[in-house]
Structure formats: C-alpha cells, structure tokens
C-alpha cells in the first residue's frame, strides 16, 4: 500500500539565539515566524538557553533543522545551508553562542551519544551585530524571511511511503 506522508511530520525546527543581542535573534525570529505559517505537523522550538538541554529533543526527531546566527566573515545577511553528514563539523559552523557549548559541539556530542537524527540541516544567518539591547540589522532581518521560505519549501514536500 502506498500512502502520502507530509515531510513536516517527524521534523523538528530549532531556532537558537538571544532576542536581546541584535543579529543573534535570527534563529528565534525564524522559529517565531514559522510557528505562524508552518503546517501543524511541524514541531518548532525556540531556545535561548544552554543547548545541551536539546539532546533529548534531537534524539526524538526523525529530522532536525536548526537556525542560528553565524560568523564566517561573509556579507551580513548571507544564508548558509549545511547538511550535517558523517564527518565532524568544522569551525565553518561558528555560531555566536553565549554559552560554553556551541552548535557544532552540540551536534558532535549528540552524534557521540547516538542521539543525532539521520538528517540534520543547519541554516546559518550571517550576523554582524551582537550589542546587547539592539535590534537585528536590516540584512539579518531580511535573511530570516528567506530562511523561513526555504524551510517551508523543504517541509512542504510530500513523500510517497510504501508499507
């Protein structure tokens, strides 16, 4: 029997960041916007605290999409998309974490503990401004809209499942 399955089912989107540090709010802004427009099957978490508490959420999902601010030296507002594979993440995934454990370390710890889903996608929004008490830059805010659109396209697909 062949059935259709919405790819949003089993997918967890995690928006990381800090609302009070300028461009660091990118992941949270994306998660908030997705919550308003995404299919109800899509699970969305906004997270500002210690990323280690996300280990169990990672383990429970079939697929994870993470959105966070990054600093790679690219033009502000540039969107980086990375599929996490079998190899360790490099310093290219340098997120602007305010915690002792960043996104790359969280992914590698989840991998080591056997809690990493088979498919993990990272959307990094190139950030430039992290001053406490400031708003995101226009470039970063505009990039968040593009990330939301890209995620909706990814999870809006329908897969044929045979059972």
Q: Tokens 């226009």 sit at which residue?
A: 138
- pLDDT at position 40, please? 86
- pLDDT at position 23, please? 96
Does pLDDT of 151 surpass 80? yes
Does pLDDT of 3 surpass 70? no
Count of domains observed in the chain:
1
Q: Give tens-digit pLDDT for 114-143.
A: 999 989 999 999 999 999 999 999 999 999
Model pTM score: 0.85
Question: What's the CATH code of the domain at 11?
Answer: 3.40.50.1450
- pLDDT at position 10, please? 85
Q: Give tens-digit pLDDT for 41-98.
A: 899 999 998 888 899 999 999 999 999 999 888 999 999 999 997 776 665 555 555 4
Are 13 and 126 in contact by the 8 Å Cβ rule? The answer is no
- The dihedral sign for the CA sequence 55, 33, 146, 9: positive
Q: Which residue range is the domain that position 108 belongs to? A: 2-162
Does pLDDT of 156 surpass 90? no
- pLDDT at position 163, please? 44
CA 6 to chain centre: 19
72 vs 146, residue with greater confidence:
146
pLDDT band at 162 (very low <50, low <70, confident <90, very high): very low
Write down the mean pLDDT value for the chain. Answer: 85
**Interatomic CA distance for residues 104 and 108, integer angstroms:** 6
Supply 83's token pair.
């599929």
């Amino acid at each position: 029997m062949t059935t259709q399955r919405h790819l949003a089912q089993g997918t967890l989107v995690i928006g990381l960041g800090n609302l009070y540090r300028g461009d660091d709010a990118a992941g949270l802004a994306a998660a908030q916007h997705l919550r308003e427009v995404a299919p109800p099957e899509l699970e969305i978490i906004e997270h500002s605290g210690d990323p280690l508490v996300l280990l169990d959420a990672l383990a429970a999902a079939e697929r994870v999409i993470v959105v966070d601010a990054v600093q790679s030296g690219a033009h502000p507002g540039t969107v980086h998309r990375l599929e996490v594979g079998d190899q360790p993440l490099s310093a290219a995934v340098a997120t602007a974490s305010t915690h002792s454990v960043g996104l790359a370390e969280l992914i590698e710890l989840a991998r080591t503990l056997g809690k990493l889903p088979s498919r993990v996608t990272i959307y990094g929004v190139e950030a430039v401004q992290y001053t406490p008490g400031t708003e995101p830059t226009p470039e970063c805010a505009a990039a968040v809209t593009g990330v939301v659109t890209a995620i909706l396209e990814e999870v809006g697909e329908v897969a044929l499942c045979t059972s």
